[in-house]
Chain A
Amino acid sequence: MTDMTSAPVPQKDDGNLFHKLELDMRLLGMIGALFILCIGFNWFTDGRFLTPRNIFNLTIQTVSVAIMACGMVFVIVNRHIDLSVGALLATTSAVMAMMQTQILPNSFGLGLGHPLIWVLAILSGLLVGTLIGAFQGWMIGYLTIPAFIVTLGGFLVWRNVAWYLTSGQTIGPLDQTFLTFGGTNGTLGTSWSWVVAVIASIGAVWAMWSSRRSKAGHGFPVKPVWAELTLHGIIVASIFGFIAVLNAYLIPERRLERMFEARGEVMPEGLTVGYGLPISVLILILVALVLSVVAKRTRFGRYIFATGGNPDAAELSGINTRLLTVKIFALMGFLCALSAVIASARLSNHTNDIGTLDELRVIAAAVIGGTALAGGFGTIYGALIGALIMQSLQSGMAMVGVDAPFQNIVVGAVLVLAVLIDIIYRKRVGAK
Chain B
Amino acid sequence: MAEHSNAPLVEMKNISISFGGIKAVDDVSVDLRPGEVVGLLGHNGAGKSTLIKVLSGAYAKDAGEIFINGNKVDIKSPRDARANNIETIYQTLALADNLDAAQNLFLGRELMTPFGLVDDSAMEAECRKIMGRLNPNFQKFNEPVSALSGGQRQSVAIARAVYFNARILIMDEPTAALGPHETQMVADLILQLKAQGIGIFLIDHDVHSVMELCDRASVMKNGKMVGTVKIADVTDDDLLSMIILGKNPMEKEDV
Q: Does A204 contact B (CB under 8 A)?
A: no
Chain B residues whose CB sits within 8 angstroms of the CB of A305 once the complex forms: 96, 98-99
Q: Are B98 and A309 in contact (CB under 8 A)?
A: yes
Within 8 A of A (CB), among B107-148: 107-110, 112, 116-118, 120-122, 124-125, 128-130, 132-133, 136, 139, 144, 146-147
Q: Does A323 contact B (CB under 8 A)?
A: no
Q: Are B144 and A317 in contact (CB under 8 A)?
A: no
Known: A305-B99, A312-B92. A317 touches B133 (CB 8 A): no
Known: A218-B124, A298-B117, A302-B110. A315 touches B96 (CB 8 A): no
Q: Does B82 contact A (CB under 8 A)?
A: yes
Interface size of B in residues (CB-CB distance below 8 Å)? 41
Interface string of A9-42 (1 = CB under 8 A from B): 0100000000000000000000000000000000
Q: Does A415 contact B (CB under 8 A)?
A: no
Distance (whole angstroms) from the CB of A44 to the closest CB of chain B: 40
Q: Are B129 and A5 in contact (CB under 8 A)?
A: yes
**Residue among A217, A218, A309 making CB contact with B99, cutoff 8 Å:** A309
Within 8 A of B (CB), among A304-325: 305-310, 312-319
Q: Are B97 and A215 in contact (CB under 8 A)?
A: no
Docked complex Cα distance between A410 and B64 (Å):
63
Q: Does B95 contact A (CB under 8 A)?
A: yes
Chain B residues whose CB sits within 8 angstroms of the CB of A307 once the complex forms: 96
Distance (whole angstroms) from the CB of B143 to the closest CB of chain A: 9
Q: Does A142 contact B (CB under 8 A)?
A: no
Nearest A residue to B129 via CB reads A4
Q: Are A310 and B95 in contact (CB under 8 A)?
A: yes
Kindly count the residue-residue contacts between A and B in the assembled complex, taking CB atoms under 8 Å apart: 98
Docked complex Cα distance between A292 and B209 (Å):
48
**Residue among B58, B107, B117 making CB contact with A319, cutoff 8 Å:** B107
Most chain-B Cβ atoms within 10 A of its Cβ — which of A302, A305, A307, A314?
A302
Interface string of A192-218 (1 = CB under 8 A from B): 000000000000000000000011011
Q: Are A4 and B132 in contact (CB under 8 A)?
A: yes
Q: Are A218 and B94 in contact (CB under 8 A)?
A: no
Q: Does A297 contact B (CB under 8 A)?
A: yes
Q: Does B90 contact A (CB under 8 A)?
A: yes
Q: Are A220 and B121 in contact (CB under 8 A)?
A: yes
Q: Does B175 contact A (CB under 8 A)?
A: no
**Residue among B104, B117, B122 making CB contact with A293, cutoff 8 Å:** B117
Nearest B residue to A219 via CB reads B125
Chain B residues whose CB sits within 8 angstroms of the CB of A220 once the complex forms: 121, 124
Known: A218-B125, A318-B108, A431-B144. A312 touches B94 (CB 8 A): yes
Interface string of B85-107 (1 = CB under 8 A from A): 00010101111111100011001
Q: Which 7 A-B pairs have the closest CB atoms?
A: A309-B96, A309-B98, A317-B108, A318-B79, A376-B98, A4-B132, A313-B94
Residues of A within 8 A of B (CB): 4-5, 7, 10, 214-215, 217-220, 293, 297-299, 302, 305-310, 312-319, 376-377, 430-432
Residues of B within 8 A of A (CB): 56, 58, 77-79, 82, 88, 90, 92-99, 103-104, 107-110, 112, 116-118, 120-122, 124-125, 128-130, 132-133, 136, 139, 144, 146-147
Known interface pairs A313-B93, A318-B77; 12 further A-B residue pairs with C-beta atoms within 8 A, sorted by A's residue number: A7-B132, A218-B121, A220-B124, A298-B118, A302-B110, A313-B92, A317-B94, A317-B107, A318-B79, A318-B82, A319-B108, A376-B98
Q: List 25 A-B contacts (CB under 8 A).
A: A4-B130, A5-B125, A214-B121, A218-B121, A297-B118, A297-B120, A299-B118, A302-B107, A302-B118, A305-B99, A306-B98, A306-B107, A310-B95, A310-B97, A312-B92, A313-B93, A313-B96, A314-B96, A314-B107, A316-B58, A316-B94, A317-B107, A318-B79, A318-B108, A430-B147
